[in-house]
Structure 1
Amino acid sequence: MAVLLLSTNPSEDHDEKMKGISLVAPPHEIGSEPFESIKQLNSDWVCVLPFAFGKKSPVDILFNHPRQWWGETTKGVAATIKHAHDHDLKVMLKPHIWMS
């Protein structure tokens, strides 16, 4: 809760709707072209959804694995966010863990 309070600017107008899309992590490295198309859709936001994989017993979380798609690795997530910011898009990072 403290992080949320410290990271919000009370002078910002929060009544405006977030216009954005969720991105599926691509299997291979991408350039900035998809983000130009996103801007043409009048989106202001993108949601980056990297996946990790977990086991319940014993508890183990696997991420940044060589068998994961490029867009799910830390390098891919960082590059995706940079491309979004380069196109003046705001980013919501929403990691997911698949449990087995």
Structure 2
Amino acid sequence: MLKVEIFKENERVEIRQIVPKDGKSGRTIYEQIAYAHLGGKFPVEMKIQLEKDQVPYATGLYSPHGSSFKVNDFGSLELRRFGMILEPIRA
């Protein structure tokens, strides 16, 4: 099971602005810092995309919900880039 951990200091939404260029409109990106436990000695920092008014995830351990995965054009399983949903890991 893939574990994603949120620490107290990361219980906030970080907002980034993408400036318009080459005729494309700008965007606002909402994200939260989390840490993925990938089997190494230390967890790896990652970013979780959030919706505009989404409340950030609270401190704790989570696992990606089944809807966060998809089968790509080559028939392989992959994590969705946008729309990842985390569910708490129960002790």
TM-score normalized by the length of structure 2: 0.23
Flag the structure with more relative contact order, 1 or 2, with Cα contacts below 8 A and sequence separation at least 6: 1
| Structure exhibiting the larger radius of gyration computed from Cα positions | 1
- Return the structure number with greater strand share: 2
Normalised to the residue count of structure 1, the TM-score between the two structures is 0.21
